[in-house]
Amino acid sequence: MMEYYNYLKSLHLIFVITWFAGLFYIVRLFVYQIEANEKPSPEKEILQAQYKIMAYRLWYIITWPSAVLGSIFAFWMLFFTEAGHIWLSQSWMHVKLCFVFLLYLYHGKCHQIFKQLQNDEVKYTNNFMRLWNEGATIILFAVVFLVVLKSAINWIFGVIGIILFSVLIMLGFRFYKRIREKK
């Protein structure tokens, strides 16, 4: 089984990357759908129809399959390889699996928002969605630092860094929004 380990690892990484790409872009589409809802007719209806199609294809053709396949290959590596058994006994992996659980919760909430927007239910603001998009980024940073450093403690510095970076981005966004509103 170990001769196949690097193939499993490669497939896992490919599908995790496409899963995150889908999560990042779906929230961006949510922003566009919410902003389209504020447009006058017929622009509103045209944009909403297009964004619904784009979101549907992204969600069901890329994001969901990537989540499932990334999880299958991770499960396979953890439970059917020697390396996986070793990792499961280490504390950094326990912390990583907690972040993976948070990622599943994030994905589930995105699915709920996706269904609402597909049914023309707008329950969130575009600013909320911009902040919501940072959730996947924070999880990504935490997991990458955990996997690379293999430390249940050192990942904290990476997460603190991305949170500070996110705050700076949001401050920049607010500053840009004020400039845009003055024009």
- Secondary structure E strands in 11-139: none
User: Is 85 annotated as contributing to ligand binding?
Assistant: no
Side chain identity at residue 171, one-letter code: L
The annotation status of 12 as a binding-site residue, yes or no, is yes
What distance lies between CA 168 and its chain's CA centroid? 20
Question: Using CA atoms, how far apart are residues 36 and 40, in angstroms rounded to an integer?
Answer: 9
Place of tokens 């589409």: 29
Burial of 41 (0-12, 13-18, 19+ CB in 10 A): exposed
Under 8 Å CB-to-CB from 101, ≥6 apart: which residues? none
Which of 134, 131, 128, 126 has the alpha carbon at shortest distance from 161?
134
Q: Residue positions in the annotated binding site for heme?
A: 12, 96
Q: Residue positions in the annotated binding site?
A: 12, 96
